[in-house]
Amino acid sequence: MKRAALLLLAGAAAAAAHAGPEYRNVTTGKPLRPGIYGRITVAAKAPPPPVIYAQPVIASQALVPARAQPVYLYVPPGQVRKWKENCARWSACDQAVLFVRVDDSPSRWGKWRERREAQLAMHERD
pLDDT in tens, 12-43: 334 444 445 578 888 788 888 888 899 998 88
The band of 98, judged by pLDDT with boundaries at 50, 70 and 90, is: very high
pLDDT, residue 21, reads 56
**109 has a pLDDT exceeding 80:** no
Which whole-number Å values give the CA distances from 5 to 1, 17, 104, in the listed order? 6, 18, 20
> Residue 31: beta bridge partners?
24
In angstroms, the CA 64 to CA 1 distance is 56
In angstroms, the CA 1 to CA 98 distance is 42
pLDDT, residue 73, reads 94
Closest to 75 in 3D by CA, of 66, 84, 62, 65: 84
Q: Where are the domains of the chain?
A: 20-125
- Where do the H-state alpha helices sit in the chain? 2-18, 77-81, 83-86, 108-125
Q: Quick one: average pLDDT of 74-101?
A: 91
